[in-house]
Structure 1
Amino acid sequence: MSFRREAYVPKGGPDGGDGGHGGNVVIVADAQLSSLIDYRYKHHFKAERGTHGKGARRHGSDGQDLLLKVPLGTVVRELDPETQEPLYEIADLTSPGEQVVVAPGGNGGRGNIHFVTSVRRAPAFAEKGEPAQEHWIELEMKLMADVALVGMPSVGKSSLIARISAARPKIADYPFTTLVPNLGVVRAQNGQSFVCADVPGLIEGASEGKGLGHQFLRHIERTALIVHMVDVTGGYEGRDPVEDYHAINEELKAYASKLADRPQIVVANKCDMPGTEDAIEALRKAAEADGRTFFAISTVTGLNLDDFVTTCAAEVAELRKEIAITTPTVDRSEAWEHQRLRRDNKLRIEREERHAWRVSGGQIERMVIQTDWDNDEAVAYLQRRLDRMGLEVQLAKAGAVDGDEIRILELTFTYEDPNKPNTDGIEIPDEDASDQQFEDVEFEEAPSDPSHVAEASSETE
């Protein structure tokens, strides 16, 4: 709050500038990053606050945004602040530079120059700044690969990616040698290339989390093509290759039904071993019965690997075209603004006690927070704004009577019947474009509970 004081300028009037807006906390996808290790031990981040407004109509500066960089493939989810359970997905950042605001900064308070009217020439109050929002979010990284190699442990997935790309995973003759996914860039003879992920071995029950199944299966969700590898020798356990094939498909389906419909190439490995002809033929029939392409390969001798890589590259190129056509472009900033307006334009009235009511809503609560309660003029201004927005009328419709207690956040007010005659005989006009009547009120009465809940929303034009 400020007034102009200058020689030879009588009645200078109010000249308080607005406070600066707070900075946003923004999650940004960065192609140079490969992990979320930066956020493992530091959990609290805060953007810069705006500065105070000054006299001579000087506005405060806005706070700088805080940019938090994450790898491509990071999923951002909102968490319940109490239970820490995921509520909903905010964004799936898959493109370099893609970003989403996870905690918007509060708006700066308005200076007293905004509250001048034809009868209130020198308002002695200003508006407080809007508090920043606090959110708990979860970051989960999922691999960005075109092809995922899946199968039972020790079927040769790591050997395959080492043979067709420059990746050098750990290879040994015991199960679960691979504990983290390995990525490799594969280039076909025709020049086409794709990114391949060697996913750690899956076992029966992986969809329920057995053998770290959830941690491994999540990396398959993004891939356009699944290469299902099967050891036709049965491994050291002597397993049936066809049973292994069906078992892994059941786990994929149980984890996410969409994975069962994902394009899949079935690969029989170790086909250079003697006595595998019958197993190869049985697996071929099972794959073709499901309408899937089949290859019999050997990662040791290189049998059929060139044809296999060329087929994968062509399939990936076709799938990329389909994804580009069917994936809509989402304007996250517009979606966020729409969500904010929808939240702001809702009013909830709930009876907490016989003569006590709880009023909540984004716009109402923000007005209360931004009011200077030590300033009588500011409090009176808020009261008139609430009247013009129709709060008293909605309370009357909900069943409030004269003298009831109205609770907004931590504050309490006394309700006055709007039909009660105005004994003061004075009405001070205020002009504020943001004040809008609440419409389309719905009432709900619990059959066994005397509490009365009303929902109202204002419509912007």
Structure 2
Amino acid sequence: MFIDKVRIHVKGGDGGAGCMSFRREAHVPKGGPDGGDGGHGGNVVVQADASLSSLIEYRFKHHFKAQRGTHGKGSRMHGATGEDLVLKVPVGTVVREYFEETKETGELIADLTHDGESVVVARGGCGGRGNIHFVTSTRRAPAFAELGEPAIEGWIELEMKLMADAALVGMPSAGKSSLIAKMSAARPKIADYPFTTLVPNLGVATSGDLSFVVADIPGLIEGAHEGRGLGHEFLRHIERTALIVQVVDLTGDWEGRDPLEDYEVISRELALYAKELAERPRIVVANKTDVPGIEEVCEQLAACVKADSLAAAGGNEFVESPIDPKLYRISALTGAGVEQLKAAIAHKVHQLREAAREQAAAEVQYDCIWEHKRAERDKRFTVTEEEEGVFRVSGPQVERMVVQTDWDNEEAITFLQHRLKRVGVDDALRRAGARDGDEIRIVGYSFDYESPEGAVDIYQELDI
């Protein structure tokens, strides 16, 4: 079964809690703090695997969680780090944020185009620090430690796009499946009715010392760019291919279609779906030349292709056009002309590969862009007045600080006050108009605002 788009929920492992402990040994009456740190939670990693061909592994299971870190112990014994959870996906998978509430996709996280390429989609929480970290010149025996940090969690969308060098596109029953069967070892279903092919097929073709991967894309119809038929489902698979091979049925099939109109319809649908597809290198193939009486329409198609090639080159015949001016005449049934077509595709693909390799070497690579954006979003927080005298502070980083605090320990709460002040919560509350006695809410806790400087030292757990 071919599954090419799924949405899954991922959650890293929570961090382990730090330990509050003091060294107690014979002849060491004042050993000092020795609580170890909690272990970091494991990450959820999406990794490209060349041995996979679809996302069927995620069709029924949609929730994935990495291992949590273990708690720290006394004698400076740190907790173990949780194991990463690696989710294998096919090469060519695009990973995006997904918001389940609004059913919308967000930022592009990664485009996994190479075997073994990976990206962290849900980081594990940091382990809480033991009390050995909170010793200062005035606080010699800190009697508190941090709880583990909650992990990042959320929905992501996995979309697989075929990684092929050349894509066979055309109207239903144009002979694409027969052609890929002649060109490669692929054995797609072949029959004399439209939409025989319902999922893309891949095959490896060889011509001399050159080889290329060719994809048989299910038939397109007019309006495919708007989603008619299976348009959107399969047009996206053409986006990655370096070369488009447009197959035209010279006979018009049993429907009696006009081959010239078929050629125009497919060209137009590619351009309407994505402008760059109109500028993608293209070879036009006239199929079913073994059928008698198609010579005239074949010559008319050749003239159209040549005219379009000249127009794409801006009317200058000395400028290379993305459309090959030559019409390749073949019969996928008898094999006539297929070897010459394979040689032309292999040569063109080789040129495009070399050009792409040079361009990639010249480009500056910016890794972890999404991770930096996520970190910046984490630091942001908002202050909103829910009702008169009640303010809500919201933000990932601020909320994690509150969750990491041991609310049964007054020293830990005092330490939280200083952390909130450092990140600017106090200043933001003052700017929002908070006054003495106002209630400040952060996740499931509330505080009384006590002074113009933002001192917060009375707390209670909300019953929510």
TM-score computed with the length of structure 2 as normaliser = 0.86
Deviates more, 1:402-411 or 1:278-287: 402-411
Quick one: distance in 2 between partners of 1:164 and 1:179? 20
Instruction: Call closer, same or farther: CA 1:393–1:175 in 2, change over 3 Å.
Output: closer
Q: Distance in 2 between matches of 1:85 and 1:394?
A: 31
Task: Determine the C-alpha separation between the residues in 2 that align with 1:171 and 1:309.
Answer: 20
- 293, 304, 307: which one aligns with 2:337: 304
Mapping of residues 40-79 of structure 1, within 5 Å? 40-79=59-98
* 1:256 to partner: Cα distance: 2.0
User: 1:9: which partner in 2?
Assistant: 28
Q: Distance in 1 between matches of 2:409 and 2:242?
A: 62
Change (3 A) 1:103 1:419: closer
Given candidates 204, 223, 245, the residue that maps to 2:241 is 223
Match of residue 451 from structure 1: none
Pick from 247, 251, 267: which aligns with 2:285? 267
Determine which of 380, 383, 402 is the counterpart of 2:417: 383
The equivalent residue for 2:434 is 400
Between 193-202 and 384-393, report the one with greater CA deviation: 384-393
Mapped to 2, the partners of 1:8 and 1:217 lie a distance apart of 77
Q: CA deviation at 1:122?
A: 1.0
Contact 1:79/1:85 (CA < 8 Å) preserved in 2? yes
Distance 1:406 1:326, change over 3 A: farther
Shift of 1:340: 3.9
C-alpha distance in structure 2 between counterparts of 1:214 and 1:385, whole Å: 49
Which string of whole-angstrom CA distances, capped at 9 and with x for unpartnered residues, describes residues 287-309 of structure 1? 11221222122223333322221
Quick one: distance in 2 between partners of 1:102 and 1:199?
31
The percent identity for this pair of structures is: 64
Query: 1:273 Cα shift?
Result: 1.9
Distance 2:81 2:303 in 1: 66
2:397 corresponds to:
363
Distance in 2 (alpha carbons) for counterparts of 1:26 and 1:129: 21
CA distance in 2, matches of 1:223, 1:388: 51
Distance in 1, Cα, partners of 2:234 & 2:452: 63
The 5-angstrom pairing of residues 229-308 of structure 1 reads 229-291=247-309, 292-293=323-324, 294-308=327-341
Query: SS state of the match for residue 63, structure 2?
Result: coil
Structure 2 CA distance, aligned partners of 1:75 and 1:135?
Answer: 16
The structure 1 residue matched to 2:213, chosen from 195, 218, 243, is 195
What CA RMSD, in Å, does the superposition of the two structures yield over aligned residues?
Answer: 1.9
Q: List alignment gaps of at least 5 residues for structure 1.
A: 425-461
- Contact 2:128–2:148 (Cα < 8 Å) also in 1: yes
Q: CA deviation at 1:409?
A: 1.7
1:156 aligns with 2:190: no
Structure 1 distance, partners of 2:98, 2:39, is 29
SS at match of 2:141: coil
- Separation (CA, whole Å) in 2 of partners of 1:143 and 1:207: 18
Q: What is the match of residue 358 of structure 2?
A: 325
Please, what TM-score do these two structures have when normalized by structure 1?
0.87
Return the offset for 1:410. Answer: 2.2
| More displaced 10-residue stretch of structure 1: 351-360 or 280-289 | 351-360
Q: 1:212 aligns with which of 230, 238, 246?
A: 230
Deviation at 1:322, TM superposition (A): 2.4
Distance across 1 between alignment mates of 2:453 and 2:153: 40
CA distance in 1, matches of 2:422, 2:96: 38
Task: Write the distance in 2 (CA, Å) between the matches of 1:396 and 1:278.
Answer: 82
1:135-154 residue pairs with structure 2 within 5 A? Answer: 135-154=154-173
Name which of 120, 133, 138 aligns with 2:152. 133
In structure 2, the gaps of 5 or more residues are: 1-19, 310-322, 458-464
- Asked which structure has the greater RCO (Cα within 8 Å, sep 6+), the reply is 2
Is the Cα–Cα contact under 8 Å of residues 15 and 113 in structure 1 kept in the other structure?
A: yes
CA distance in 2, matches of 1:198, 1:389: 55
Q: What is residue 43 of structure 2 aligned with on the other side?
A: 24
1:177 to 188, 196, 205: 196
Q: In structure 1, what residue type is equivalent to 2:284?
A: V
After TM superposition, the structure 1 stretch with the greater mean CA deviation from structure 2, 348-357 or 263-272, is 348-357
- Contact 1:142–1:222 (CA<8 Å) still a contact in 2? yes
Match of 1:105 in 2: 124
